[in-house]
């Protein structure tokens, strides 16, 4: 089965840029979606189809996807961005989620 | 506005079954599918399967084949997920999530609030 690997944690100072990677075999050929999940809450879609933002998601959130790595970038990080982030793809008739990354704002 | 409202928390004994509901509002129910995703305590997200509210077609995760059944009631815009032969490692928060039908590799754009299912003797 297809495996998506994310770093367990990323720490970033307020106002700086956080980059969260999602590694998978030839992931650049797939569509990647990203979700933000805060403690005790349901996930929220923040990026879809690699780089599109749903309405209501700040422009500070952006995405890219190429080769074996997809990346979620959060610019000008704020305290409210502290959360778990998951990537997701569709592969071989199954939805696959990444292992998840906890973003800590210092 | 789009809403997915799930049923309340459940406590079940090993070997029992649980049925979780997900009532949709604010959109045309039959134009979308519903996926079910679960999250064990302190763990990541696990996709369980999908049902089309348009025609009832299903696609279950291989790991759960034979134990899970997903259904819909279009008259009440409600989706259901039944999991049988419960084990302790089925303890998790169960989410329903909306995705378009007939759209390849679509994202889950709206989620329910989650239902905690605890399996304990």
Looking at residue B100, its pLDDT comes to: 84
Looking at residue B14, its pLDDT comes to: 98
- Segment A15-26 shows an average pLDDT of 98
- Rounded Cα distance between A2 and A78, Å, is 33
Residue A79: other Cβ atoms inside 10 A: 8
B62 contact residues in A (CB cutoff 8 A): 94
A45 contact residues in B (CB cutoff 8 A): 107-109
User: Do residue B112 and residue A42 have CB atoms under 8 angstroms apart?
Assistant: yes
What is the per-residue burial (b if ≥16 Cβ within 10 Å, else e) of A32-57? Answer: bbbbbbeeeebbbbbbbebbebeeeb
Over residues B34-71, the pLDDT tens digits come to: 999 999 999 999 999 999 999 999 999 999 999 999 99
User: Do residue B44 and residue A43 have CB atoms under 8 angstroms apart?
Assistant: no
- Segment B10-29 shows an average pLDDT of 98
B104 contact residues in A (CB cutoff 8 A): 31, 90
């Amino acid at each position: 089965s297809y495996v998506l690997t994310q770093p367990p944690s990323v720490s970033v100072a307020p106002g700086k840029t956080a980059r969260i990677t999602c590694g998978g075999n030839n992931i650049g050929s797939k569509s990647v979606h990203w979700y933000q999940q805060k403690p005790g809450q349901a996930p929220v879609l923040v990026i879809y189809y690699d780089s599109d933002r749903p309405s209501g998601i700040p422009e500070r959130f952006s995405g890219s996807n190429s080769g074996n790595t997809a990346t979620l970038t959060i610019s000008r990080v704020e305290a409210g961005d502290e959360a778990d982030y998951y990537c997701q793809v569709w592969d071989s008739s199954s939805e696959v989620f990444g292992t998840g990354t906890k973003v800590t704002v210092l | 506005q789009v809403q997915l409202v799930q049923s309340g928390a459940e406590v079940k004994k090993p070997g029992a079954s649980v049925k979780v509901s997900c009532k949709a509002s604010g959109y045309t129910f039959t134009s979308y599918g519903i996926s079910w995703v679960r999250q064990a305590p302190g763990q990541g997200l696990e996709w369980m399967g999908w049902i089309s509210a348009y025609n009832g077609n299903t696609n279950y995760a291989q790991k759960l084949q034979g134990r899970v059944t997903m259904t819909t009631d279009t008259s009440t815009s409600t989706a259901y997920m039944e999991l049988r032969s419960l084990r302790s490692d089925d303890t998790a928060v169960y989410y329903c999530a909306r995705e378009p039908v007939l759209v390849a590799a679509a994202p889950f754009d709206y989620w329910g609030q989650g239902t905690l299912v605890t399996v304990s003797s």
